[in-house]
Chain A
Amino acid sequence: MAQPSLFASVIWSVSRLTQHIRSLLETDATLQDVWVQGEISNLARPASGHVYFTLKDAAASLRCVIWRTDARRLNLPLQDGMAVEAHGKIGVYEPQGQYQFYADLLRPAGEGALYQEFLRLKSRLEAEGLFDAQRKRPIPPLPHTIGIVTSASGAALQDMLNILRRRLPLVKVIVAPSPVQGEEAPPALVSALQALERLSPDVILLARGGGSIEDLWAFNDERVVRAVAACQVPLISGVGHETDFTLTDFAADLRAPTPTAAAELACAVTVADLTSRLGEIKNRLAASTLSLLAARKSELASVAARLRFSSPQRRIQTDRQRLDDLTRRGFSALNHRLSLNETRLQGLERRLQALSPLAVLRRGYAAVTRAQDGALVSSISQVQTDTEIFVRVTDGQFEAVVRKHEP
């Protein structure tokens, strides 16, 4: 008969055994990343901010905890009896020896199916090229008319109008109201969009405030997404909260995280920008006019200078100067001529002296003239015996008579 051994080699403490169980559960990959579906009961939200409840179905129940940080991210109002899908992991709470489910995500049951449908439609439209980046058009920075498709009664519209009023009150807004949730929403959104499109605003905002994923579902409707993609006017989609993505966001030219952000993106340029730009151009107007006046003035100065340059006064001065110049050149030519003549004269004088009979006389020659008529005797035929003559030598003359004449 099998009996437990009284003297087991190892006796575990409760803590140790619980730790062992814990490590078994918490190292199991399946139990650490699992979606579980059930109905909420025993919901408790103590002041700590953590959320406690039990998920159950017909045959079993599971203790669940949502830590405060995860609980804050829930945008799903929880209540007993609600059917949900929860994502999380199994852990062990050692003090009470309980295994429990630590949930980090929660969604209404059936949402998984919606999400699958969302993904299917998204990939189909993506394959068709509806979301292509090159289809995106720039949003005009300073629109004249902004069209808005949203619910006429929603807070989103007021928020958007407030933003536009504050940032760019110059703009004209045309609201095309449409229900934004429920069965009638998709066709109504499409026809509002198309009616607005016919008025050719500069940009269209398609917007809806936050809500559950079912509330936003019209913006995942294929008809609406196609109308957005086909829209002739640049379109900004601002649906739900920051974390919500709808297919209209992908089809739009620009996705805004919220309706308020959509309004901000629609007026990149604000009145403050325009005011400062106007101040700038006002300064440029004054500066350019002044500078143009200065330019005309300097032109005038330059023409005046040219006028002075070509005035008769200047001509007279020039002529006077030219006259001086000519006079100077005349004198100079004259001087030159004079000194030339002088030189020539000196030459002649020297030649004259060389030829002078007196010079010959100095060398011992004598000049003989006839006393009776003073004729120079250069031939024997001019004299006869007894002809009286004068003999001139270098330092005087004396009288003589031809004594013997022998031709």
Chain B
Amino acid sequence: MPKKTSPKLIEDLTYEEAFDELESIVAALEGEQATLEEAMQLFERGQALVKRCGALLEQAELKVQTLSANGLDEFEMDE
């Protein structure tokens, strides 16, 4: 069993969080200790995580901020 199943909604997970959870799910399934019902739940969650990670990779857009005396501002391209 994965030590911790994140209570977070899948949509709120960062790439690393989603990928880490995915890895622990696969490890649990590979251990073959899970009951059938647990296994099916893990598999479903795993599939959702794969989807989340894939979407994050595809839609990723570099976020750039500028640090100024007032704090962080959205970065303006200086062309």
Which residues on A are within 8 Å of B, measured CB to CB?
142, 144, 152-153, 157, 161, 164-165, 168-177, 192, 195-196, 199, 271, 274-275, 277-278, 281-282, 284-285, 288-289, 291-293, 295-296
Determine the distance from Cα of A284 to Cα of B34 in the docked complex, in whole angstroms: 16
Contact of A192 among B39, B65, B67 (CB under 8 A): B67
With contacts A285-B43, A285-B47, A292-B39 taken as known, whether A174 is within 8 angstroms of B67 at the C-beta atoms is yes
Chain B residues within 8 Å of A161, by CB: 62, 64
B43 to chain A, nearest CB (A): 4
Given A173-B62, A173-B63, A291-B32, 20 further pairs, Cβ under 8 A = A152-B66, A153-B78, A157-B78, A164-B62, A165-B62, A170-B60, A172-B64, A172-B65, A174-B67, A175-B64, A175-B65, A175-B75, A177-B66, A177-B67, A199-B67, A281-B50, A285-B22, A285-B43, A285-B46, A295-B32
The yes or no answer to B12 lying at the interface (CB within 8 A) is no
Determine the distance from Cα of A278 to Cα of B23 in the docked complex, in whole angstroms: 10
When C-beta atoms are compared, the residue in chain A nearest to B78 turns out to be A153
Chain A residues within 8 Å of B22, by CB: 281, 285
Determine the distance from Cα of A293 to Cα of B40 in the docked complex, in whole angstroms: 9
The yes or no answer to B9 lying at the interface (CB within 8 A) is no
B78 to chain A, nearest CB (A): 5
* CB-based contact B57/A271 at 8 Å: yes
Chain B residues within 8 Å of A288, by CB: 26, 29-30, 32
* CB-based contact B39/A293 at 8 Å: yes
A255 to chain B, nearest CB (A): 24
When C-beta atoms are compared, the residue in chain B nearest to A272 turns out to be B57
Chain B residues within 8 Å of A295, by CB: 32
B70 to chain A, nearest CB (A): 12
Give the size of the chain B interface in residues (CB under 8 angstroms): 35
> Which interface residue of A142, A168, A175, A285 has the most chain B CB atoms within 10 A?
A285
When C-beta atoms are compared, the residue in chain A nearest to B36 turns out to be A296
A-facing mask of B4-38, CB < 8 A → 1, else 0? 00000000001110010011011001101010100
A299 to chain B, nearest CB (A): 10
A141 to chain B, nearest CB (A): 12
Contact of B62 among A169, A195, A278 (CB under 8 A): A169
With contacts A153-B78, A285-B22 taken as known, whether A169 is within 8 angstroms of B50 at the C-beta atoms is no
Chain A residues within 8 Å of B78, by CB: 152-153, 157
A189 to chain B, nearest CB (A): 13
Determine the distance from Cα of A293 to Cα of B22 in the docked complex, in whole angstroms: 19
Determine the distance from Cα of A271 to Cα of B57 in the docked complex, in whole angstroms: 7
- Chain A to chain B contacts (Cβ below 8 Å), 9 pairs: A142-B16, A170-B56, A274-B57, A278-B50, A281-B22, A285-B26, A285-B29, A295-B32, A296-B39
Determine the distance from Cα of A144 to Cα of B62 in the docked complex, in whole angstroms: 11
Determine the distance from Cα of A220 to Cα of B78 in the docked complex, in whole angstroms: 27
When C-beta atoms are compared, the residue in chain B nearest to A149 turns out to be B67
Chain A residues within 8 Å of B68, by CB: 177
Determine the distance from Cα of A199 to Cα of B67 in the docked complex, in whole angstroms: 10
* CB-based contact B19/A278 at 8 Å: yes
Determine the distance from Cα of A285 to Cα of B53 in the docked complex, in whole angstroms: 14
Chain A residues within 8 Å of B46, by CB: 285, 289
Chain B residues within 8 Å of A291, by CB: 29-30, 32
Chain B residues within 8 Å of A192, by CB: 67
* CB-based contact A170/B57 at 8 Å: yes
- When A and B form their complex, which 7 residue pairs have the shortest distance between CB atoms, in order from nearest? A288-B29, A169-B60, A176-B67, A165-B62, A289-B43, A285-B46, A173-B64
Chain B residues within 8 Å of A169, by CB: 60-62
Determine the distance from Cα of A119 to Cα of B36 in the docked complex, in whole angstroms: 69
Chain A residues within 8 Å of B63, by CB: 171-173
With contacts A285-B22, A285-B29 taken as known, whether A278 is within 8 angstroms of B67 at the C-beta atoms is no
* CB-based contact A289/B67 at 8 Å: no
With contacts A278-B50, A292-B29, A292-B32 taken as known, whether A174 is within 8 angstroms of B72 at the C-beta atoms is yes
Determine the distance from Cα of A291 to Cα of B22 in the docked complex, in whole angstroms: 17
Determine the distance from Cα of A234 to Cα of B26 in the docked complex, in whole angstroms: 32
Determine the distance from Cα of A281 to Cα of B19 in the docked complex, in whole angstroms: 9
Contact of A278 among B29, B36, B57, B72 (CB under 8 A): B57
Chain B residues within 8 Å of A277, by CB: 19
* CB-based contact A171/B62 at 8 Å: yes
* CB-based contact B47/A174 at 8 Å: no
When C-beta atoms are compared, the residue in chain A nearest to B42 turns out to be A289
